[in-house]
A = this chain, B = another copy of it.
C-alpha cells in the first residue's frame, strides 16, 4: 500500500567516499547562500540573503491573514496585519545563519542541505516586539514553551508536519524577539516568510519561523519534530543530544581579486591590498578577528570596525596584506566576549549543525 513513507527516508551520513548525491544537489539548486562578494554590503540586499526552506514557500494571502495567539494565557488573540502594524514598531539589524552552514565540508558528511560556508545574511527586520504582546494577553505563570507554527507543510524523515519550533518562555520574552513584517524597509518577500515571521536575534535560522500563523503557549515542554528530533547536536542516531540554539562565532573573508568561473579560485595582482570580511557570534559580541594567508599556519590580528547596526549584526574586519607572487589559502577566525572561538579541527555531530570551521579561500597571485 502506498503511504507517505514512500516519499521519505531516515536521516543518514554519507559513506567515506560518497560524493554529493542528486538529492543534495536538488536542495542546493533551491536553497542558496550569499555570494561571498556580497559580504561587501553592510545590509544584505534582497535576493542575496541565504535561504533555507524546508518544504515549499506557501501561498499566504495577506488580506485574509491573521495571527492566532493562544494556549496558556488569559486572553487569546487574533491579529491581522493592520493590527500588528498598529503596535509598537522597531527595527533590528540581525545576522541570520543556517544551523547547517558548513555541513558539506564535514567528513563524514551528514546528508542534508549541502552548505559550504555561505548560509548567512545580515538584514534589517522591522516588526513589533513579541514580549509585550504575550504579557498583554496574560501569559500564564506556569507557561514553559512558546510554540511557533508556520504555514509551510511537508514531510521530513517520515513525519508529516507543519513547520513548528518552540522557544523556552524566557527566550520568547527577550525584548529583541520580533514579529517581523518588513525586511530592509520593504514588505517581506514570499521566500523570507511573508506576511509575518519570527526573528530571534542570536539564534540559528531554524528558530526564526517564517509564514508564522500561530503562537501557542504550553505548560509542558514542546516535543515537536524540529525541536526534539531535527535540530540537536548528537554524536550518533541513538544520542538524544542537546538543542541547537545560538550562533557560534564565525568570520568570513570577502574573497579578494577576481575569480575563475569554475574553481572560484581567486586571482589577485601583486601589491598591497585590503583583506576584509564580516564576523559575528550569537553568544556575545565579537572581540577579535585573526587572519591567515597560509591556511592556518600563522595568524595576524585584524582591525574590527566599530559596530554598525547594533549588537545582533555582523561586524566588518580588515587587514592590510602585501601580496607577492605565489599561492595562498586565506581564512579568518573570530573570537567573542564569551571566549568562544573557531576551531581549526572541527568537532563533528550527526546533523552537521553549528559548524564554524575556518573558511579556506584559495588565491593565486601571478608573477607579473
| Cα(A189)–Cα(B114), bound, Å | 26
A264-B4 in contact (CB<8A): no
B325-A118 in contact (CB<8A): no
Q: A8-45, CB under 8 A of B: which get 1 and which 0? A: 11000000001111111111111111010110100001
Asked, given contacts A53-B35, A262-B111, whether A2 binds B367 with beta carbons under 8 Å apart, the answer is: yes
Copies of this chain, whole number: 2
User: How many of chain A's residues have a CB under 8 angstroms from any CB in B?
Assistant: 76
A57-B29 in contact (CB<8A): no
Partner of A262, one of B9, B18, B189: B9
Could you tell me the distance in whole angstroms from the C-beta of A266 to the nearest C-beta in chain B?
7
Could you tell me the distance in whole angstroms from the C-beta of A215 to the nearest C-beta in chain B?
23
Could you tell me the distance in whole angstroms from the C-beta of A368 to the nearest C-beta in chain B?
8
Partner of A191, one of B20, B47, B153: B47
| Cα(A192)–Cα(B38), bound, Å | 13
Partner of A366, one of B3, B29, B327: B3
A364-B7 in contact (CB<8A): yes
Q: Which residue of B lies closest to A190 (CB)?
A: B45
Chain B residues near A237 (CB, 8 Å)? none
Q: Which residue of B lies closest to A41 (CB)?
A: B190
A35-B6 in contact (CB<8A): no
Query: A80 contacts the other chain (Cβ, under 8 Å)?
Result: no
A365-B267 in contact (CB<8A): no
Chain B residues near A59 (CB, 8 Å)? 37, 40
